[in-house]
Amino acid sequence: MRVLMVASEAAPFAKTGGLADVAGALPSALARLGCDVTLVVPAYREVFAKGLPVEPTGLSFEVPMGARRLEARIFGGRLPGDAARVYFVANDGCFDRPTLYGGPRDYADNAERFIFFARAALEFAGREERPFDILHCHDWQAGLVPAYQKLVYRGWPMLAGARTVMTIHNMAYQGWFWHWDMLLTGFDWRYFNWRQMECHGQLNFLKTGLVFADAITTVSPTYAREIQQSPGGCGLDGVLAVRSDAITGIVNGIDTAAWDPATDPYLPRGYGPDDVVAGKRAARRSLAERLGREIAEDVPLVALVGRLVEQKGIDLVIEMLGRMAGGGRARFVILGTGSVDTEEALGRLAAEHPGVINVVIGFDEGLAHLLFAAADVVLVPSRYEPCGLTQLYALRYGAIPIVRATGGLVDTVVDATPESLGDGRASGFVFDAFDARALERALERALDAHGDRDLWDGLVRGAMARDWSWDTSAREYVRLFERVRAAPPVDVH
Ligand code: ADP
C-alpha cells in the first residue's frame, strides 16, 4: 500500500507539538507493516538549521496561487531508522522564517502558505512514478488536500485512485481565513457554502478537510466522541456528527527509539525498571546542574512539559502552586512557552518560592527528556486533550502522571484505586472536575502514595512495563486504510 503523508511538522526536523512526534514516527511504523510511505513537510528554516541530512533533489515546479505562480523546490531526506522517505517543500518567501506558524500572532499570510503547501504536496506526488493508494492529511495545514485531490487533481494518474484520510490532532485549530482567500485556492466559489468550505462567513481549512476526506480519524477514541458534541467540536460538531460513520479514534503511540530511558542520549546514564531509582537520581543531579539550583533528593519532583496555554490547564497549575508551594511536600519544575501573562505569572511564583518552583521558558527537547527522567510525577491537567503525549513519555520514564479525565488522557491512564492497584492496572492519578482543588487533591494522593515505597515501586514498574509503541496503533491505521481503499470515495457534489 502506497501512502502519502502530508503534515506541517515532523520530528526531528521541525516541531512545535505532538503532531511532529506523530508525523515523525507513524511513517516508520507503517513501513514496518509493509506500507510504502512518503512524508511531505514544509522546508522551514528550522529544518536546515538542525544540521540533519537534507539534500536538494533537483526537482522544482510552479504552484498556482490565485493569479500568480509560486516556485516549489523539493529537498529530500529520510526519517530516523531509514524506513520512510521525507520530502521538504521549499519556498523561501513562505517558509524561510524564524518560527513555523508565527507567534505570538499567526503570520498574516498563513492561508497562502498552507494553500501553497497542500498544492505543492499533490503536485509533487503527482510527479512520482507509482500511484498512491492513501493520502493521509494531518490537521488544518493539510486540510485542503482532500478537496484538491477531488476537485483539481482528479485527472492525475498518480493521485486519481487514492482515498483521503483526514486526521484531527486538535479541533481548536481549524485554519479560519477571510473569504477572499478562496481566490488564492483556485476552487470554484460554489464550494464556499455552509456544507463544504465556509463556516460563519470564513474559509475553514479543517472543515474543508472533514467534508472532502473519505475517512476521518482523531487521536483517541474518547476525543472522537467528544468532538461530535459541543463544546469539544469547537463549532464543527455538527459537521462531524453528519460524518460520524466515517470517524475512527486511534490512540497515538510514541517513538520508543527516540524515547527510551535505557539509551536516551540526553540522560547522564541509561536506566530501566530495575535501576529506576539510581537513574532518576543521576538525572536529577544533571537537572540541578542545568538549572543552577540544588534539588533535594528526598522531596518528590513534580514536572510539567508543554505549551503554557489554557488548553493545558496551566491556570489550574498556577492556582494550585500558589497554595502548595509553601507546604514543602514537593518541588516543581515547569518547562514550556505560552502567553506572556502565563509566563509572567509562573515567573512570579518561581521568584517567590526559589527553592521550590523552577520555571524554564523555552522549547528545549533535551531538557524535556531530562525532566521526564528526573521527575517522580508529571502533571497533565488539561481542559481538553486530543491524545496527549507527555503522560506517555512520563510512563515510559517511570514518572507517574496526574491527568484530568478528558480525551486521550482517559484512554491512556488508569486511576490508582485499591482495585486497580490490586490487579496491576493502575498507572496514574486521574481527577474529573476542571478545578485547581481537584488537581491539588490528586497531587496529594500521589504524594501520599510516593511515601509508601512498595506501593510506589509497584506503580512505577507497572507504568514502565506498558507498551506505547506505535505497532498496535499503526495496525489500526493499516486496517482503516484497507477499508477506505475498498470503499467508493465520498460524494462531494
Ligand atoms: P500538544 O501537541 O497539544 O502540544 P502533546 O502532549 O500531544 O501536546 O505533545 C507535546 C509535545 O511537545 C511533546 O513531545 C512534548 O514533550 C513537547 N513539548 C512541548 N513543549 C515543550 C518545550 N517547551 N520543550 C520541549 N518539548 C516540548
**Ligand 1 pocket residue status of 266, Cβ below 6 Å:** no
Q: Whose CA is nearest to atom 27 of ligand 1?
A: 306
Taking CA atoms only, the protein residue closest to ligand 1 atom 22 is 363
> Taking 80 as the threshold, does the pLDDT of residue 27 lie above it?
yes
Instruction: Please check whether residue 163 is in contact with residue 489, taking contact to mean a CB–CB distance below 8 angstroms.
Output: yes
Centre of ligand 1 from the C-alpha of residue 145, in Å? 26
Per-residue pLDDT tens digits for 166-215 = 999 999 999 999 999 999 999 999 999 999 999 999 999 999 999 999 99
Position 113 confidence tier, pLDDT thresholds 50, 70, 90: very high
Is the CB–ligand 1 distance for residue 269 below 6 Å? no
> Residue 82: is its pLDDT beyond 80?
no
**How far away, in angstroms, is 273 Cα from ligand 1 center?**
24
Residue ranges, comma separated, of all CATH 3.40.50.2000 domains in the chain are 2-253+472-486, 273-467
Query: Over the stretch 370-398, which tens digit does the pLDDT of each residue have?
Result: 999 999 999 999 999 999 999 999 999 99
CA dist., res. 280 & res. 269, Å (int): 9
- 236 phi, psi to nearest 5 deg: -105, 15
CB of residue 402 inside a 6 A radius of ligand 1: no
> How many A from CA of 64 to the centre of ligand 1?
34
Mean pLDDT, to the nearest integer, of 281-303? 93
Q: Report pLDDT digits (tens) over 444-468.
A: 999 999 999 999 999 999 999 999 9
User: Residue 104: is the preceding peptide bond cis (ω within 30°)?
Assistant: yes
What is the chain's alpha carbon radius of gyration, rounded to the nearest angstrom? Answer: 23
Q: What is the pLDDT of residue 70?
A: 98
**Cβ atoms 402, 380 nearer than 8 A:** yes
First to last CA, the chain: 28
Ligand 1 atom nearest to 337, measured from its CA = 23
Q: ∠37-38-40 over CA atoms, to 5°?
A: 145
Whole-number pLDDT of residue 239:
96
Beta-carbon contacts of residue 265 (< 8 Å; ≥ 6 apart): none
Report the CATH superfamily, name and number, of domain 273-467: Glycogen Phosphorylase B; (3.40.50.2000)
Distance CA 354, CA 481 (A): 52
Candidates 168, 170, 191, 163; CA nearest to 179 is 191
Centre of ligand 1 from the C-alpha of residue 371, in Å:
12
How would residue 493 be classed by pLDDT, with cut points 50, 70 and 90? confident
Say how far apart CA 420 and CA 46 lie, in whole Å. Answer: 44
Averaged pLDDT for residues 124-128: 98
pLDDT for 80 equals 85
Q: What percentage of residues in the chain have a pLDDT greater than 90?
A: 96
Which residue among 15, 342, 382, 389 is best mutated to probe the pocket of ligand 1, counting the most ligand atoms within 8 A of its Cβ?
389
**CA distance to 90, 262, 366, per residue, from 258 (Å):** 27, 11, 11
- Does any ligand 1 atom lie closer than 6 A to the CB of residue 258? no
**Cβ of 364 less than 6 Å from ligand 1:** yes
pLDDT digits (tens, 9 = 90+) for 93-110: 999 999 999 988 899 999
Q: Is the CB of 18 inside a 6 Å radius of any atom of ligand 1?
A: yes
String of b and e for 260-269 (b: at least 16 CB within 10 Å)? Answer: ebeebebbbe
Ligand 1 atom nearest to 368, measured from its CA: 25
- pLDDT computed for residue 298 by the predictor: 85
Ligand 1 near 335 CB (within 6 A): yes
Q: Which CATH number does 2-253+472-486 carry?
A: 3.40.50.2000
User: Looking at residue 285, what is its pLDDT?
Assistant: 96
Q: How would residue 293 be classed by pLDDT, with cut points 50, 70 and 90?
A: confident
- Is the pLDDT reported for residue 228 higher than 80? yes
Q: Per-residue pLDDT averaged across 53-74, rounded?
A: 97
365 CA to centre of ligand 1 in angstroms:
9
Please provide the size of the chain in residues.
493
CB atoms within 10 A of CB 354: 9
Look at residue 355 and tell me whether its pLDDT is greater than 90.
no
Q: pLDDT tens across 134-179, in order?
A: 999 999 999 999 999 999 999 999 999 999 999 999 999 999 999 9
